[in-house]
Amino acid sequence: MTKTYFTSFFRLLIFCCIATRPAGADVVLSKDQLTSIGALGWIAPDLEIPAPDQTLPLVSEHDKSAGATLLRRYHAMGRAGGFDGVIYDNRDRGHSPLSKDQFPQLAHLSYGPDLREAELDYGLAGRIILPSIVFGNSSTALTQRPINRSQARFAMTSTAGPERAYLTYSNNHIYVYPEHRDHDEVDLFPANWPYMIISQGSSHSDKPFMQALGMTLAALSDETREFLREKRLIAPTLQMILRRNQTAMYRLEQYLSPVAHPTVFERKSLQPERMVAMAADLTPADIPPMVRLGVEQEDFSEAAGLAGLSERLFDTPSALARVWRSDAYSRQMVVTADKTQDPNGRPLSFEWVLLRGDPQKVRIKPFEDAGQKARIEIDWHDARPIDRMTDRVTDRVDIGVFASNGVNYSAPAFISVSFPGHQSRNYQPIGDDGAMRLVSVDYTNMRKVHVDPMLHWTAAWTDEFSYDAKGQLSEWRRVMPDETLILQGPGGEGPSRAPVHKLENVSKKPRLIMENLSNP
């Protein structure tokens, strides 16, 4: 999707005033209210949002938590604006809903029979965009092997999934999805992004995050909430508030560090009372921008590796993702954030932070005075523990890009590179300048690690490479269980296609089946 298309497309989604209707009824959405926006889905520009019933409590009287208590105090002081123009969307058909008693003034979305029949009420959000602030959840997953995965990983790996995820994020929608077996012993996600919140666990692990988001939204003043809605910065601001106020995170340098930006969030990291306090204190003048990234140069390509597959998983304004398929040892990108604009017109400065990866193998070189552009050089990474504090394994590098307007840092935008962690590669140095070349790669996955069939393939051989005195490829050997073949490679180039032999999983296009999740 081109930048021009993104620009013109999202202009279409800047809605005018939110119409209201009498309180007391949920919002019912039907097919005849939808307007097509092409392949990505529909909008419902004329949907009416009920005005909150101010005679009802803002938060359940039975909720004695610190966050709820603080929210009541702010509401009594006239500082908390409540839920005007806010709607809750449950997308698992009541499997893990936010109770209506939790926020009595909050409107709940329901879908008409025609939309339920088309399953537009179920699973991953993003096909329908509403003219309101929306927060929601779906405790569902794709359960059919071999493509079983969480909704979040499905969004990252499916056609139009990343574009729809950005569409929700940039139009005041934010959803919570459980990671459901995608983040246990191994982090299976091919990227990190700010477009949704992923909770550790399965069914109902999303509920504490929904409650925290609801309290945070209610704590915003009317003026701040309306400013965020108009600027379409509700979701980025909620992400910033969540990440800034996690357990034991009090200093700015902690926010600009890996601990604040995991792929998946633990319930124990939530601090709703701190989120409420920060939201209530925010004024329109404090709001940071949404970071917008663009790639100016790169050597990741549209066809790489033996299968000739694209290395560009997705390009969206606040998240870029690449899949390393080449036999190269080092890759580079030049990425710019120069399209990022502060909502109040303030000058911006940028921080580029390695959030995941070996600091010895990742070099980030910002240039220009404000650091709005950077050259990124990444060397090959084997699968490894995420950090010294956990045994969870990753095969990914993440770089976070943060914009500061002098008052607050933004939510991060991400640059992610996913490696084929099931492959065993061996590189050797060339001379004394640090250059490396591939001498063997084992595609057999003898270690039996997880291989995502929507991204990677396996094969029953190991390729070995020899080079002459000039560094030219002189011999390419394919070692299989019963024989070894000698394949002559082109001079000076690595292998570019698979001669005859079968690459497993390359062409599979299995049917996708979603189901509610079992309790963790």
Q: Which of 81-90, 359-368, 489-498 has the lowest mean pLDDT?
A: 489-498
Q: Which of 515, 516, 509 is nearest to 158 (CA)?
A: 509
For residue 110, give the 3-state DSSP assignment: strand
DSSP 240: H
| pLDDT above 70 (res 358) | yes
- Asked if the model's pLDDT at residue 40 lies above 50, the reply is yes
Buried b / exposed e over 339-375, threshold 16 CB at 10 Å, is ebebbeeeebebbbbbbbbeeeebebebeeeebbbbb
Residue 510 has pLDDT above 80, yes or no: no
Mean pLDDT, the chain, rounded, equals 91
The dihedral through the CA atoms of 244, 247, 251, 255 has a sign that is negative
Residue 159's pLDDT band (cuts 50, 70, 90): very high
Q: Which DSSP state fits 33?
A: G
Q: What is the pLDDT of residue 398?
A: 98
> Residue 208: pLDDT above 50?
yes
Residue extents of the structural domains in the chain: 3-290
Question: Is the model's pLDDT at 428 over the cut of 70?
Answer: yes
The whole-number average pLDDT for the span 23-52 is: 89
Q: Report the percentage of the chain scoring pLDDT > 90.
A: 81
Query: pLDDT class for 520, splitting at 50, 70, 90?
Result: very low
pLDDT at 516: 59
Does residue 148 carry a pLDDT above 90?
yes
Helices (H) then strands (E): counts for the chain: 10, 30
Tokens of 323: 């899949």
Residues 6+ apart with CB under 8 A from 61: none
Distance CA 58, CA 76 (A): 10
Q: Does position 23 have pLDDT exceeding 80, yes or no?
A: no
Q: What is residue 19's predicted lDDT score, i.e. its pLDDT?
A: 41
Q: Which amino acid is at 474?
A: S
DSSP letter, residue 90: E
Length of the chain: 520
pLDDT score of 165 more than 60: yes
Q: pTM of the full predicted structure?
A: 0.91
Question: d(Cα 322, Cα 188) in Å, to the nearest integer?
Answer: 15
What backbone phi and psi angles, to 5 degrees, belong to 212?
Answer: -65, -40
Helix, strand, coil shares, percent, the chain, to 5? 20, 30, 50
What is the average pLDDT across 356-366?
97
- pLDDT, residue 515, reads 56
What pLDDT was estimated at residue 37? 96
Task: For residue 107, give the 3-state DSSP assignment.
Answer: strand
Of residues 103, 104, 115, the one with CA closest to residue 31: 115
Of 31-40, 96-105, 159-168, 502-511, the one with minimum mean pLDDT is 502-511
Which one-letter DSSP state was computed for residue 217?
H
How large is the average pLDDT for residues 41-50? Answer: 94
Q: Give CA–CA dist 91/96, Å, rounded.
A: 9
**Which one is predicted more confidently, 344 or 24?**
344
What pLDDT does residue 268 have?
96
Among 261-270, 354-363, 509-518, name the one with the lowest average pLDDT.
509-518
Tens of pLDDT, residue by residue over 109-143, are 999 999 999 999 999 999 999 999 999 999 999 99
- Asked if the peptide bond before residue 146 counts as cis, ω within 30 degrees of 0, the response is yes
Q: What is the pLDDT of residues 461-502, one digit of tens each?
A: 999 999 988 888 899 999 999 999 998 655 444 444 445 567
